[in-house]
Structure 1
Amino acid sequence: MFYTNRNNQINFLNELTEYAYLISFIYRKLLNIPYMILYILSGIAIIYLTFIAFIKLRFRFWSVQPVFHLYNLFYWVWPCGIIEHGQSPKTKFYNEKVLTRKFKDVSAEKKALFYTFIKSHFLNNKKEIYNPPKFAVLDYFNAHNRMSHISLQFELLTTPNKGYSSDKTAAKIVSAMTSRPLNAILNNNEVRVDYVDFLCVHKNDRKKGLAQKMIFSHYYNARKDGAGPVFLFKREGIINFIVPLTVYNAHVFPLKYLKHPNLELPDNIVCHLINDSNFSLFSHFFGEIKKNFKCCITPEQSHIKHLVSKKLLFICLIMEGQTPVGVYIYRTPFTSYKGKQSIECIASYYKVGYYDVFIKSFRNTMVLINHEYPVDILIMENISNNNDIINHLLKKTPVLWKCPMAYFLYNFAYRPFFSSDVFLIN
């Protein structure tokens, strides 16, 4: 009996010892939890700082510009809107050779040089040819309610002048950039925006940092000359580490399947191609469009009407009797791909309950436009209500290719919008 009790005592002591070790182990682990959290936070901080260092080294220009950088946690929580309220100080990216003027003050000779420069150097490559008539470049700067700006950098060329003691000198454009006014409404807040276009560097002068210097110099000079503080850029292809206003894909479709009218619509549904004489139909509908998107960025109606009159924009309005129920906005880019002319659908909208009418009327808009401007390729930007058309086309039509696109704001920090919440005419 003694031995039995002694064995029980020994077993009990052993169990107590095991529990003591277990409690001690758990206690030590509990004590270590703050250190584990510290290690995790330290690891996250190291990754975060490494990411910032990579961006600052890889994108040296953009990392010091007044934009919403992806790593800026403060702007994600408290977006500030305008970043630089006053005039920006000059930096190493300012180029004294860049001349910035209001577009209306530029001579006809310089405008002609600018047009020739853009036509020759803006977009052309083996597969993609940009061949605009003169008005398709210069008319984008007319009929605005605020000033547009142009920046040019010239380089003097010296050529031998045979038979004379002195050589000839001539000026060529090596880089250019423009901005023109738009009106933005972001979640019911109005913002003055200038849209950047025709940022271009001469083919022989690329990869020398001229584009970066042109961007900052134009921003600095234009603001000093009365331009608004916020600029809007559009980027195609690889997206950088700036938080975009919106990001989406553009889908490219062949039009050979879409050149026949859809006769399945009711008799009271009519598609109108907007022109000078019936522009008021679109004008009255425009107010409703703006109310139905969280982000709406467009020019003044006077400028939209001007672009329509020049056939730089095609607006197709769907009417049920005398009531507008949908609209499609097309832009003529004067860009051909392997010899095939293209058209861009940049925005669309339809009233609730008119999805079927909107989808079925789309083909009829293509028929109307082809009578005015023959095209073979449709570029559908996945923005506003275009997503519904794209999803419909993907079931019936092959995609030639697609390309990522984004809009981003310069000198303005704001959380991004879904592309379906954005209606934008530039």
Structure 2
Amino acid sequence: MIFYGYLYRFLYYLQHQFYRGISYLGNYIIYEPLSNIHPRWFLFGFISCILFIYFYIKIRYPFWNTQPVYHSYDFWRKWTSSPFIIQKNFPMKTKFCNFENIQTYDYLDLQDSQMEPVIDLLVSHYIPSDQVLFTVTKKHMNEYFTGQNHSSLFSIYYEKHYNYGEPEKEKQLIYTNVPIGLMTSRSISIFVLNKSGGCIKYPCYFWDYLCVKRELKHKKLSRNIIQTHEYNQRIKNPGVLISLFKKEGELSRGIVPIAKYTSYTFQIPTMKFDKLPEHCVMVQINKTNFGDFIDFLYIFLKTSKVFKFAGIPDIGSLKKMIDSSNMYVYLLKKREHVLGMYAFKDAKVQYENDDGSAIQCIGSILNCSNIRLFYLGFLHSLQMITWKTHYKIVLFENIAHNSYIWEFLRTTNKEIMEQNNAYYLYNFVVPGSPYLAKDCLFLV
């Protein structure tokens, strides 16, 4: 009541000063109608506006308004000068937490009997299209979720299926846990360019494989999976407070992305192009020259100040993905100088109408002034991949310096499909976001 008393007096004072100002200017057109309005109505109007905004946000964004993210209506955060973590202490439980059905495991603790139905769930339901096959296997999971600096985590949503025991035994109702939803996280590092020009490194978890059975999509179980997974993730590893995730197609409403961009799908064409200039070569990264790639990548991120934001897998994980041919990295070099870098990832998808799998160009780095040469290096790297593999489709992410390549590709290739994508941060705010897609690099 004391607060409302002070607020009442403050509004009365503002009204009085407003009247004096209008009177001083001789403007009686506005003054006369307002002079008879009691201050309580100004207070009522002010409180009504606040309540309207509050309930609009609650109804419009029922899930994300409860989460520690950079909301689109957090206008005051636009003027912060440095990146910051929203929740630095214990995570909060909300109504979306479901500890009864959702269990979170360290990946290395999962048994084969637990992984087999999870793989079946992903193969059948991860991609919402009958025209695209998802070809992930247990072997691929091992290659993706080991080698990180921190434990990889799997959250599985179990549904109890009840049935009776064998007929010859006493009839007894028993149940089995059947996975109907999944979410994973693996540790990466993010690099943020601050206003002073320094590159700050943060540990982070990358969320992936958020999947719910198609027939249960209407129940919005993904909200429970996200909230419970993030809570358990913070409990199991309190040293990593930040998370990053990617949305494809339908973007998240009410959250400010760190970067938004378009991806394009097209068939790999029959390629005829010029040879590389003298002294220029394409080098594929493997076990023997992996150190050269890491040195170039980290030095470029920390000294060039080209990318305002980058998400990079942990070194052990990056090496394992390259060694297992889940990722392909090529360097365009002139003698010892690196002119460009190109990163591709096996998308683990196969289109039903095409006899071949898809390769995803996830990012590139331009380190020279000759953009046409940089594009030529991309064509050579793509050709080197198709010589040895069965890829027929390219998923081209128009992000990082891929934007320079796309200016040439768009005139020579007709895309099959285009799609809006975005990366979002959880429990972390980066002032100035969203950034332009060309100012961000993601190799996750």
* TM value normalised by structure 2: 0.82
Q: Which moved more, 1:309-318 or 1:42-51?
A: 42-51
Checking the alignment, whether the CA contact within 8 Å between 1:115 and 1:138 is kept in structure 2 is: no
Checking the alignment, whether the CA contact within 8 Å between 1:142 and 1:303 is kept in structure 2 is: yes
Give the counterpart of 1:296 among 286, 310, 317.
310
**Cα distance in structure 2, aligned partners of 1:310 and 1:208:** 38
Matched, 1:404 2:424: no
Give every structure 1 segment of 4 or more consecutive aligned residues whose post-TM-superposition deviation is greater than 4 Å: 29-32, 42-52
The 1:50–1:377 alpha-carbon spacing in structure 2 relative to 1, beyond 3 Å, is: farther
**Cα distance in structure 2, aligned partners of 1:297 and 1:69:** 21
Deviations 1:342-380 (A, max 9, x none): 111111002132322111121111111112322222111
Give the counterpart of 1:137 among 141, 145, 148.
141
User: Matches of residues 152-167 of structure 1 in structure 2 within 5 Å?
Assistant: 152-160=156-164, 161-166=166-171
Checking the alignment, whether the CA contact within 8 Å between 2:86 and 2:429 is kept in structure 1 is: yes
**Cα distance in structure 2, aligned partners of 1:254 and 1:29:** 71
| Corresponding residue of 1:333 | 347
Checking the alignment, whether the CA contact within 8 Å between 2:282 and 2:330 is kept in structure 1 is: yes
Instruction: List alignment gaps of at least 5 residues for structure 1.
Output: 1-23, 36-41
Matched, 1:193 2:204: yes
Deviations 1:303-341 (A, max 9, x none): 111001111111111111232211110111111233332
| Corresponding residue of 2:121 | 117
Matched, 1:75 2:77: yes
Matched, 1:374 2:390: yes
| Corresponding residue of 2:180 | 174
The amino acid that maps onto 1:138 is N
Per the TM alignment, residue 31 of structure 1 is displaced from its structure 2 partner at its CA by: 5.9
**Cα distance in structure 1, aligned partners of 2:56 and 2:248:** 22
Deviations 1:102-134 (A, max 9, x none): 222222322333222222221152222212232
Checking the alignment, whether the CA contact within 8 Å between 2:359 and 2:395 is kept in structure 1 is: yes
SS of corresponding position for 1:332: strand
SS of corresponding position for 1:243: coil
Matched, 1:150 2:147: no
**Cα distance in structure 2, aligned partners of 1:295 and 1:44:** 40
Per the TM alignment, residue 51 of structure 1 is displaced from its structure 2 partner at its CA by: 6.3
**Cα distance in structure 2, aligned partners of 1:343 and 1:154:** 33
Deviations 1:193-220 (A, max 9, x none): 1000111112333222321111111111
**Cα distance in structure 2, aligned partners of 1:333 and 1:280:** 25
Per the TM alignment, residue 281 of structure 1 is displaced from its structure 2 partner at its CA by: 2.8
Matched, 1:260 2:271: yes
Checking the alignment, whether the CA contact within 8 Å between 2:364 and 2:401 is kept in structure 1 is: yes
Checking the alignment, whether the CA contact within 8 Å between 1:269 and 1:321 is kept in structure 2 is: yes
Give the counterpart of 1:394 among 407, 410, 418.
410
Aligned residues between the structures: 394
Q: What value does the CA root-mean-square deviation take over the aligned residues?
A: 2.7
SS of corresponding position for 1:207: helix
Checking the alignment, whether the CA contact within 8 Å between 1:176 and 1:214 is kept in structure 2 is: yes
The amino acid that maps onto 2:258 is L
Per the TM alignment, residue 253 of structure 1 is displaced from its structure 2 partner at its CA by: 2.3
The amino acid that maps onto 1:203 is R
**Cα distance in structure 2, aligned partners of 1:374 and 1:45:** 64
Checking the alignment, whether the CA contact within 8 Å between 2:265 and 2:415 is kept in structure 1 is: yes
Give the counterpart of 1:307 among 313, 321, 326.
321
Percent identity over paired residues = 24
SS of corresponding position for 1:395: helix
Checking the alignment, whether the CA contact within 8 Å between 2:285 and 2:293 is kept in structure 1 is: yes
**Cα distance in structure 2, aligned partners of 1:124 and 1:28:** 64
Which structure has the bigger radius of gyration?
A: 1
| Corresponding residue of 1:357 | 373
SS of corresponding position for 2:338: strand
The 1:332–1:43 alpha-carbon spacing in structure 2 relative to 1, beyond 3 Å, is: farther
Per the TM alignment, residue 48 of structure 1 is displaced from its structure 2 partner at its CA by: 9.1
The 1:263–1:150 alpha-carbon spacing in structure 2 relative to 1, beyond 3 Å, is: same
**Cα distance in structure 2, aligned partners of 1:396 and 1:43:** 59
The amino acid that maps onto 1:151 is S
Checking the alignment, whether the CA contact within 8 Å between 2:264 and 2:418 is kept in structure 1 is: yes
The 1:208–1:385 alpha-carbon spacing in structure 2 relative to 1, beyond 3 Å, is: same
**Cα distance in structure 2, aligned partners of 1:47 and 1:237:** 34
User: Matches of residues 268-287 of structure 1 in structure 2 within 5 Å?
Assistant: 268-287=279-298
Checking the alignment, whether the CA contact within 8 Å between 1:124 and 1:130 is kept in structure 2 is: no
Deviations 1:83-111 (A, max 9, x none): 11111232211111211122222223223
The amino acid that maps onto 1:76 is K
Per the TM alignment, residue 159 of structure 1 is displaced from its structure 2 partner at its CA by: 3.3
Instruction: List alignment gaps of at least 5 residues for structure 2.
Output: 1-22, 35-43, 194-198
Per the TM alignment, residue 189 of structure 1 is displaced from its structure 2 partner at its CA by: 2.1
User: Matches of residues 1-40 of structure 1 in structure 2 within 5 Å?
Assistant: 27-28=26-27
Matched, 1:232 2:215: no
Checking the alignment, whether the CA contact within 8 Å between 2:128 and 2:214 is kept in structure 1 is: no
**Cα distance in structure 2, aligned partners of 1:126 and 1:371:** 29
**Cα distance in structure 2, aligned partners of 1:121 and 1:396:** 34
